[in-house]
Amino acid sequence: MSFKVTVIGAGSIGFTKTLISDLLKVPEFVDCEFALTDINPHNLDMVKQVIETIVSVNRLPAKVTATTDRRAAISGARYIMSCVRVGGLEAFSTDIAIPLKYGVDQCVGDTICAGGILYGQRNIPVILDFCKDIREVAEPGALFLNYANPMAMNTWAADMYGGVNVVGLCHGVQHGAHQIANVLGVTDDELDYVCSGINHQTWYIDIRARGRKIETDELLDGFEKHPVYSKQEKVRIDVLKRFGVYSTESNGHLSEYLPWYRKRPDEIGRWIDMSDWIHGETGGYLRYSTERRNWFETDFPMFKEQANKPLSDYKRTSEHASYIIEAMETGRVYRGHFNRRNNGIITNLPDDAIIESPGYVDRFGINMIEGVTLPTACAATCSVSVSVQRLSVEAAMTGNIDTLKLAVLHDPLVGAICTPDEVWAMVDEMVVAQAQWLPQYADAVPAAKERIAKSTVKTRDWDGAARKRVRSVEELREVVGGHH
């Protein structure tokens, strides 16, 4: 069978290579067309070389095209994947640096919190442009597979306003499951589980190891005794202890979605492990991304070398995309965890929320399992974030800066740290700093600049409580300055 798959943001070479290699492991897909598009022609050329090498070495009939013309890449596609980061590292640096001045200490800042909300404001207009192209030139009924963060906000906008069939995909569930299998002394294949919640706040509400149901006490005991996780996952273990269920999300991610662990500088160190950025380092993902900002250049020879190996040596990953497409095209049923509009799937979350929960895929599409009820504490935590996401999407759609400020004000971590006056000043500063990526706020920028000039709100001389490599805001911005 032959059909067209488009990857938007294909200049993310390693991830694009993974997605397409996974698809080429499906025998029926070896003669598909893979259309690559990106705003960076240099990266696009590199990834095209890698994918063409894989196709050539394995003597496959697949067709590979690459163009900076996104609409041309989407034309006639049956499946469209998005892996974009609007604003790149330059915008990302302000997501982290400006909130720090107001005491908001983020590890990642790409889902909610001040950074994640502004990230959504940048992404949503672009996501809706993708949707317009999909509606107008893609194959009728095409599926939009969104891998880009903030997952829930992007998927919410595409679902409610984009007019396309969309699913959000993330690998956090698989990674957390691997930890649980390790703690219980079983292989990944011997572990069965049901996860449900919202993206990055999903919960393992039922766990079976070799068919035996695992209770909270056994899981907690295993994590507390584990020589590595007991040090790296202190927030997740504390939440497990209090909520009775384990979270899918890494220690650093989870710590910034809740109001309790990152609000006092002298307390943050108690919950953070500095062995790797993902365990909670202040601005950890920004530092990691900044230091590896040219990794695609240095690693390009490695990708080309890998591409020269036969696909028979390649092990298909656990990324959902290839399995979803395989199920829809061949009828081979796939079970995974997907981001879709709730509509009663989770009984104690709002119907309009984008939830992450189990579903099955076959020729009839993605079929979610309905009637899931979260533990009350999990539902309460998720509901707060859903309200923030709803306000954030509304702000992005209307360009109303007051709605945006209300979204940031209601964020759990921001609300635990900042006064309303501080939130208003912080959002003004972020919107002005990111104006080039926020077209919907163009009319609001002049007034925001005037308020900044007259502001009496005091910021804090603080560069974060958990830094692996101390770097001033000015140094960070100098490193990423001009990078898109």
Confidence of residue 286 (pLDDT cuts 50, 70, 90): very high
DSSP string, 30-56: TT-EEEEE-S-HHHHHHHHHHHHHHHH
Sketch the domain layout of the chain as residue ranges. 4-170+296-322, 172-292, 376-454
Q: Rounded CA gap, 123 and 84, in Å? A: 8
Give CA–CA dist 303/108, Å, rounded. Answer: 27
* Active-site pick, 257, 261, 314, 334: 257
Confidence check: pLDDT of 65 > 80 = yes
Question: Is 107 a residue whose pLDDT tops 60?
Answer: yes
- The band of 297, judged by pLDDT with boundaries at 50, 70 and 90, is confident
Report the Cα 262 to chain-centroid distance in Å.
21
Structure confidence at residue 475 (pLDDT):
55
Q: How confident is the model at residue 470 (pLDDT cuts 50, 70, 90)?
A: very low
**Phi, psi for 192 (deg, rounded to 5):** -120, 145
418-441 confidence digits (pLDDT tens): 999 999 999 999 999 999 999 999
Angle between helices 41-57 and 13-24 (to 10 degrees): 30
Q: Is 170 annotated as a binding residue?
A: yes
Cα of 458 vs its chain's centroid, Å: 32
**What value does the mean pLDDT take over residues 182-188?**
97
One-letter amino acid at 5 equals: V
Residues 6 or more apart from 20 whose CB is under 8 A from it?
5, 7, 34, 51, 54
Q: Is 149 annotated as a binding residue?
A: yes
Helix 113-137 × helix 401-409 angle, to 10° = 130
> What are the beta bridge partners of residue 213?
208
Active site residue 257: yes
Instruction: Provide the 3-class DSSP secondary structure of residue 290.
Output: helix
Amino acid letter for position 109:
G
DSSP 141: T
For residues 27-32, give the mean pLDDT: 97
Give 163's pLDDT tier (boundaries 50, 70, 90). very high
Catalytic site residue from 161, 171, 226, 483: 171
pTM, rounded to two decimals: 0.94
Give the separation between CA 105 and CA 119, rounded to whole angstroms.
Answer: 16
Q: pLDDT value at position 67?
A: 98
What is the pLDDT confidence band of residue 14, given thresholds at 50, 70 and 90? confident
Mean pLDDT of 121-146: 98
Of residues 460 and 431, more confidence is placed in 431
Cα–Cα nearest to 141, from 51, 208, 80? 80
Residue 295 binned pLDDT confidence (cut-offs 50, 70, 90):
low
DSSP letter at 421 equals H
**pLDDT tens digits along 271-282:** 999 999 999 999
Cross-strand partners of 82? 8, 146
Provide the b/e sequence for 443-481 (b: ≥16 CB within 10 Å): ebbeebeeeeeeeebeeeeebbbbeeeebebeebbebbe
Extended strands (E) in 246-405:
334-341, 354-362, 365-368
The two counts, helices (H) then strands (E), for the chain are 22, 12
pLDDT given for residue 464 in this prediction: 85
CA quadruple 375, 380, 384, 386: dihedral sign = positive
Question: What pLDDT score does 462 carry?
Answer: 77
Q: What is the mean pLDDT of residues 381-393?
A: 98
pLDDT greater than 60 at residue 469: no
Instruction: Name the band, by pLDDT with cuts 50, 70 and 90, for residue 474.
Output: low
> Are the C-beta atoms of residues 372 and 343 closer than 8 Å to each other?
no
pLDDT surpassing 50 at residue 454? yes
Q: Are 77 and 35 contacting, i.e. CB atoms less than 8 angstroms apart?
A: yes
Q: pLDDT per residue over 222-278, tens digit each?
A: 999 999 999 999 999 999 999 999 999 999 999 999 999 999 999 999 999 999 999
CATH of 4-170+296-322, one of 3.50.50.60, 3.20.140.10, 3.40.50.2300, 3.40.50.720: 3.40.50.720
**Looking at the predicted structure, is the pLDDT value of residue 298 above 50?**
yes
Q: Is 199 annotated as a binding residue?
A: no
Rounded percentage of the chain residues whose pLDDT exceeds 90: 89
pLDDT score of 221 more than 80: yes
Peptide linkage before 446 cis (omega within 30 of 0): no
What's the CA gap between 187 and 206, in Å, rounded? 17
Say if residues 160 and 171 touch (Cβ distance below 8 Å): no
> What's residue 130's pLDDT?
98
| pLDDT of 481 strictly over 50 | no
Does the active-site annotation cover 171? yes
pLDDT category of residue 482 using cuts at 50, 70 and 90? very low
Max CA pair span of the chain: 67
Q: How far apart are CA 395 and CA 247, in angstroms?
A: 29
Across the chain, mean pLDDT equals 94
- What pLDDT is stored for residue 137 in this prediction? 98
